[in-house]
């Protein structure tokens, strides 16, 4: 019996380690392919260069870093109020009969493939923005709009969980002291669940920065510094997605190097989210 258990234990350990090994291998290959190029052209020229013309050996990704943050910032600007309002409604104000419908619907939002979001944005939002606001329609604004919908499930589910995890005595206490329902929500519950809500926003931000397919379809992918929300832009992920098919040599390495930058950004965001949600537990 002892032996059998040992074997099973090792077997599961092995499987668990395989998945970590895959992660390690991916990381290793991204760095192995990307680092030589960064060293060749210099980290400064790569990170702060403003021109991306691979056929001429110019690999500056600064406009893409800026665009990534523009698009993400726009998505958060629209997504956070919407997500928070939805969370409060779901956890505090909702009649149970609607909750049964609404919760699965929000989770379904996370299950829709991103290419569908992209297609919807391209067919519905792009012409609207092109006609009413001008510009090519394929723009940061369109991208942010679509992304704000895509990050809603992340923000809502995690921040609702953190609201639900609060001890019931908080709410009971506040109400007993004479606070109205709304005062309880705004002054007691939300501040108490703050770290979880912030973590949910950071995870949503990670999702927004990492989104590729929908953004390729919507952003227009022009390689220049964006000047307004109506300009076309290219993010770090779409740069890899759009050019990988044809790239070779230095160009290919530059795309892996773009991946390294993305890797660090996502790592930083996730570490921050883990750190914040830890603090809540302690």
Q: Is 26 in the site for another protein (CB under 8 A)?
A: no
User: At closest approach, how far in Å is the CB of 205 from another protein?
Assistant: 15
Residue 137 or 174 with smaller CB distance to another protein: 137
Q: Which stretch binds another protein (CB under 8 A): 30-38, 74-82, 172-180, 241-249?
A: 241-249
Rounded to whole angstroms, how far apart are CA atoms 74 and 182? Answer: 28
Count each helix (H run) and each strand (E run) in the chain, helices first. Answer: 14, 2
Instruction: Indicate which single residue of 94, 222, 266, 272 sits in contact with another protein (rule: CB under 8 A).
Output: 222
Number of residues that bind another protein (CB under 8 A): 56
CA 281, distance to chain mean position in Å, is 24
Sign of CA dihedral 25, 201, 84, 95: positive
DSSP tag of 53:
E
Instruction: Indicate which single residue of 37, 126, 141, 150 sits in contact with another protein (rule: CB under 8 A).
Output: 126
User: At closest approach, how far in Å is the CB of 135 from another protein?
Assistant: 8
Residue 11 or 186 with smaller CB distance to another protein: 11
Q: CA–CA distance from 156 to each of 67, 86, 90, 200, 236 (Å)?
A: 25, 7, 9, 8, 26
Q: Is 98 in the site for another protein (CB under 8 A)?
A: no
Q: CA–CA distance from 220 to each of 138, 225, 228 (Å)?
A: 5, 13, 14
User: At closest approach, how far in Å is the CB of 243 from another protein?
Assistant: 5
Q: Which stretch binds another protein (CB under 8 A): 33-41, 160-168, 171-179, 204-212?
A: 160-168
Burial of 177 (0-12, 13-18, 19+ CB in 10 A): exposed
Contact (Cβ atoms closer than 8 angstroms) between residue 136 and residue 235: no
Instruction: Indicate which single residue of 76, 243, 257, 258 sits in contact with another protein (rule: CB under 8 A).
Output: 243
Instruction: Indicate which single residue of 8, 116, 128, 165 sits in contact with another protein (rule: CB under 8 A).
Output: 165
Residue 10 or 187 with smaller CB distance to another protein: 10
Length of the chain: 282
Window 174-193: residues binding another protein (CB under 8 A) = none
Burial of 103 (0-12, 13-18, 19+ CB in 10 A): middle
Q: Is 25 in the site for another protein (CB under 8 A)?
A: yes
Rounded to whole angstroms, how far apart are CA atoms 185 and 166? Answer: 12
Residues that bind another protein (CB under 8 A): 10, 13-15, 17-18, 20-22, 25, 51-56, 103, 107, 110, 122, 126-127, 130, 136-138, 153, 157-158, 160-161, 164-165, 199, 216-217, 220-224, 232, 234, 241-248, 251, 273-274, 277-278
């Amino acid at each position: 019996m002892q032996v059998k258990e040992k074997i099973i234990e090792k077997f599961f350990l092995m499987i668990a380690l395989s998945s970590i090994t895959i992660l390690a291998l991916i990381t290793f290959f991204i760095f192995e392919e990307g680092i030589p190029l960064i060293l060749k052209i210099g980290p400064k020229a790569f990170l702060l260069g403003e021109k991306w013309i691979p056929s001429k050996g110019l690999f500056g990704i600064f406009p893409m870093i800026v665009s990534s943050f523009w698009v993400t910032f726009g998505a958060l600007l629209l997504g956070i109020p919407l997500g928070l309002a939805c969370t409060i409604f779901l956890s505090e104000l909702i009649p149970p009969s609607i909750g049964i419908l609404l919760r699965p619907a929000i989770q379904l939002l996370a299950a829709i493939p991103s290419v569908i979001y992209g297609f919807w944005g391209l067919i519905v939002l792009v012409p609207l923005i092109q006609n009413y606001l001008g510009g090519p329609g394929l723009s940061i604004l369109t991208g942010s709009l679509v992304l704000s919908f895509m990050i809603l499930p992340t923000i809502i589910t995690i921040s609702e969980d953190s609201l639900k995890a609060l001890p019931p005595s908080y709410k009971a206490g506040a109400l007993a002291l004479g606070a109205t329902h709304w005062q309880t929500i705004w002054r007691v519950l939300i501040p108490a669940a703050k770290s979880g809500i912030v973590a949910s926003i950071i995870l949503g931000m990670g999702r927004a920065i990492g989104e590729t397919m929908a953004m390729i379809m919507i952003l227009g992918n022009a390689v220049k510094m964006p000047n307004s929300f109506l300009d076309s832009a290219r993010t770090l992920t779409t740069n890899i997605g759009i050019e990988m098919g044809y790239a070779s040599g230095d160009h290919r390495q530059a795309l892996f190097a773009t991946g390294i930058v993305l890797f660090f950004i996502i790592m930083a965001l996730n570490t921050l989210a883990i750190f914040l949600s830890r603090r809540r537990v302690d």
